[in-house]
Amino acid sequence: MLKLYVSQLTMLRSSISQNIRKFGANAPSSIKCSRLEGKIAIVTASTEGIGFSIAKRLAQEGAKVMISSRKETNVKRAVEELKSEGLQVDGTVCHVGKAEDRKNLFEKTKTNFGGLDILVSNAAVSPAVGSVLDSSEELWDKIFDINVKCTYLLMKESLPFLKSSKSPSIVIISSIAGYQPFDLLGVYSISKTALLGLIKATAVDLAHRGIRVNGIAPGIIKTKFAKPLYETEEGDSISKSQSMMHRLGMPDEIGGVAAFLASDDASYITGETIIASGGTNARL
Ligand code: NAP
C-alpha cells in the first residue's frame, strides 16, 4: 500500500515539474501588433525594470514614448537603447515628486510629439523594510507622497493634455502586495492598496470625459526593486512557491498587459486592475 502511495506521489511530482517547464516556456517573444500606431505615451520611472519594458512595448506597438526617471544618465542610456532598436522615443528627467519636473514632462511631450494619449504611472518607492506597526511617520509620508499623491497629481496634470486625444487612457502600476500585503513591506503594500481605490474613484470621475483608467498589479517580477525577494536561494524558493506557475515574472510580461489596457482593444474596460502574478492568490 505504502509502495503504491510513494509511486503515485513520484508520478504526480514529475507531472507537476513537466507542467512548470511548459509554463516557463510561454514567455512572450516577437511583437506582431501595432495597436498603438499614432498614439503618444508617457511612462514614468521608465529607464529600467517594469517601466522600461512598458515603454519598449508601447513603442514596439507604434506609440511615440517619452521616457523618464530621476537620473539623466539613466534617461540617456534607456533612450539610446530603444532608439537603436528603431523605436520612436525621447527622454527627460522627471522625479515624480518634483512639480517642476512633472510640468516639464508634459510640456516636453507636447512640444516634441504633439500631444498625449496614454499616461502610465509606474514610479514607486519602498525605502525601508519593516512591519506596519514599526514604521515611522517619515516612512509613511515618503511612501504615500511618491506612490499615491504623486500618482494622483500626475493624473490630474495630464488631463489638459489628454482632453485632445481621441482615445485617452491612464494605466497605474499597483502590485499584488496591494491585495495581500508583503510581511516586511507593510506601508508600501498599503500604498498599493490605496492605488486600487484611486483607480476605481478616478475611473468614475473620468468616464464622462472618455478617459479610461485601469491598473496592473504585478506579482514578483525580476527587477532590481524586487531583488531582496529573490537574491538568496531561500527567498527565491519562497517567492516562486507563491505563484501557481512556480516562477517569477519578467518585466516584458507586464509590458504586454499595459499595451493591451492602453489600446482600443480595451475600449470597454475602465476602473479595473489586471493581476499579472502567475496565479498568486489575490483577494481583497
Ligand atoms: P526598478 O527595476 O527598480 O526600476 C525603478 C525605476 O524607477 C528606475 O527607472 C528608476 O530610475 C525609477 N525611479 C525611482 N524613483 C523614481 C522617482 N521618484 N521618480 C521617477 N522615477 C523614479 O523597479 P520595478 O520593479 O520595475 O518597479 C516599477 C513599479 O512596479 C513600481 O511601481 C513597483 O511598485 C511596481 N511593482 C514591482 C514589482 C516587482 O516585483 N518588481 C511587483 C509589483 C509592483 P532612476 O533611479 O533614474 O530614478
**Over residues 179-196, mean pLDDT:** 96
Higher pLDDT, 31 or 179: 179
The whole-number pLDDT of residue 250 equals 98
Predicted confidence (pLDDT) per residue in 94-153, tens digit: 999 999 999 999 999 999 999 999 999 999 999 998 889 999 999 999 999 999 999 999
Q: What is the largest CA-CA distance in the chain?
A: 76
Give the C-alpha separation, 275 to 282, whole Å.
Answer: 8
Atom of ligand 1 nearest to the CA of 47: 9
**Which residue's alpha carbon is nearest to atom 28 within ligand 1?**
50
Size of the chain in residues:
284
Catalytic residue among 152, 188, 230, 268: 188
The whole-number pLDDT of residue 32 equals 78
Average pLDDT value over all residues in the chain: 91
The whole-number pLDDT of residue 24 equals 52
Q: Which amino acid is located at 246 in the chain?
A: H
Nearest to 150 by CA among 97, 220, 192: 97
Predicted confidence (pLDDT) per residue in 4-40, tens digit: 433 443 444 444 444 554 455 344 557 778 999 999 9
**Which residue's alpha carbon is nearest to atom 31 within ligand 1?**
124
3-state secondary structure the chain: CHHHHHHHHHHHHHHHHHHHHHHHCCCCCCCCCCCCCCCEEEECCCCCHHHHHHHHHHHHCCCEEEEEECCHHHHHHHHHHHHHCCCCEEEEECCCCCHHHHHHHHHHHHHHHCCCCEEEECCCCCCCCECHHHCCHHHHHHHHHHHHHHHHHHHHHHHHHHCCCCCCEEEEECCHHHCCCCCCEHHHHHHHHHHHHHHHHHHHHHHCCCCEEEEEEECCECCCCCHHHHCCHHHHHHHHHCCCCCCCECCHHHHHHHHHHHCHHHCCCCCCEEEECCCCCCCC
Give the C-alpha separation, 34 to 161, whole Å.
Answer: 23
**Over residues 152-168, mean pLDDT:** 98
188 is catalytic: yes
Neighbour tally for 22: CB within 10 Å: 10
Residues with C-beta less than 6 Å from any ligand 1 atom: 44-45, 47-51, 69-71, 74, 94-97, 122-125, 146, 173, 175, 218, 220-221, 223-226
Interacting residues of 90 by C-beta distance below 8 A, sequence separation 6+: 64, 65, 66, 67, 79, 108, 109, 112, 113
Ligand 1 centroid, distance to 124 Cα (angstroms): 6
Distance of CA 199 to the CA centre of its chain: 14
Ligand 1 centroid, distance to 70 Cα (angstroms): 11
**Over residues 249-270, mean pLDDT:** 98
Ligand 1 centroid, distance to 23 Cα (angstroms): 26
Ligand 1 centroid, distance to 216 Cα (angstroms): 14
